[in-house]
Amino acid sequence: MNNLRQLKERFNPRRTYKFGDVTVEVDGVFVRIDEEPFSIDGESVAVSLEDFLQDPAIIRSARVSTGRDTVDVNEKASGMVGALYKDEHVTPFEGGVMFRLKVTAPISVVQPFFQLAGSHNEFSGRYSVIDGPFYVPEFAKRDPEILRIFEEAEAESQALYKKFLGASMAKEQARFALLFRFFTKFYWTISLRHMLEICALEKNKFAPEEFWQTRDNILISIIRDWTPWVYDKFVEHKKIYETKWAEEEPMAELDRPIFDSRVENIGSVQLIKSDIDENLMQLGIHTGPSPKRGFGHCSATFLIECPIFVHRQWVRHRYGSWSELPVDFDEVVNKINFYVPRRFREQVGKTMGYQYQDMADEKNKEQQHQLWGLITKSQHRYLELRKRGLEPQQAALCLPYTFRIKTLWTANVESLMNFFSLRRDSHAQWEVRQFANRIYAWFAVTSPWANKIFLKHINFGSTKAPS
């Protein structure tokens, strides 16, 4: 059994992987558990190495289709892994191996992760203080003048953030003072199939270089250590999913939207396309076990301009399609496209039970003045960094976390109902709630039957009627 013995020798279940300023911890994996090791008296469960190996789980997932869902994995198993991978039989890689990863990275680097497959649960600046130093990229460390600008920007940002917190400002608003390079962390649950697909993507300019470095130096290392057979076949049958062709395509001009609405002073929503047909939904709900699936056959597409912190909450609604458009940071700075609230809020109470109240007028004006002051200084720093030869995405690391971005969102009605329940709820952040209210107002008028079902049977939020 040389093949299996070599697999055991190469199996290297490391916990922590680090490259540059990104750390990924393997928090959990699928483990096969026999009945034998379990103890009735509650003592610890023994798991053999054979059950902990990940590659054999792919074989078991594949063999079940022929009625041979066995524990035994023979000498030919590694060849079967290669045949499955080479010929695009991908479901065994999805159902057989699953990773729960804890990612710690600069906020500017994690943006692409949330447009990838899997489940994401992120540390929230709404409920917790974001502490610790900011990300300083290598190009800044190599130039004393650029490093000075980065350090000055961080010092002013950190000082204002603490000042806002000291004024009892809601944490969800105090983070507006942070720069676009604070560290965040999130759990990412993803199958081996999707990791392999990410690792086969051709590099393009739409994701930051740090993202590609994380992929090439961490994700591939996890595949090599935890699934040696798969890694061998990944190298042997090299796949490249082409992406650079998109760089050559011009940005399209969208047709006139169905509606175009400003959302307070926060941003805007444009409804670009809708194929909502209530007759189709009425037909589709007669299904089991969940009639809600019938609402999945109709969808709408929106072009949204919103502050980046709103997008970070919104993109967690995974049941749909997101396309974050490239940010023109030169335009953001020149047109002063930053969000400053008309009314700051104070935060009282405990986690998950917070209450918010508007600041008194004079105190509110003072907080606005201070945030505008930081934005103005950030604009000057950005322009200075651009004159020193930095690319827009590099200079943007000294901008506060309140600039606006644009994104396309396509969601079916089932997804919209989940969004309305969560984001129109009184516990949702006020800014994202305004977007949810605006889209809901359109939905309630154009889909009266679906809205009636939603309000009576599906809505789990605290808001029942348009506000």
Active site (catalytic) residues: 423
Interatomic CA distance for residues 309 and 172, integer angstroms? 9
Is residue 231 packed enough to be buried (19+ CB in 10 Å), middle (13-18) or exposed (0-12)? buried
For CA atoms 13, 16, 22, 28, the dihedral sign is positive
Task: Report how far apart the first and last C-alpha atoms of the chain are (Å, whole number).
Answer: 68
Main-chain phi, psi angles of 311, to 5 degrees: -60, -40
Residue 153: enclosing H or E segment and its boundaries?
A: helix 144-166
Interatomic CA distance for residues 379 and 370, integer angstroms? 14
Convert 104-121 to b/e letters by CB count within 10 Å (16 or more is b): bbbbbbbbbbbebebebe
Closest CA to 311 of 441, 409, 456, 425: 409
Closest CA to 298 of 322, 326, 273, 327: 273
Task: Label residue 303 left, alpha or beta by phi (over 0 means left) and psi (-120 to 50 means alpha).
Answer: beta
CA distances from 243 to 198, 248, 322 (A): 11, 10, 17
Contact, 429 vs 345, CB < 8 A?
no
Query: What token pair was written down for 344?
Result: 């700051």
Strand partners, 273: 301
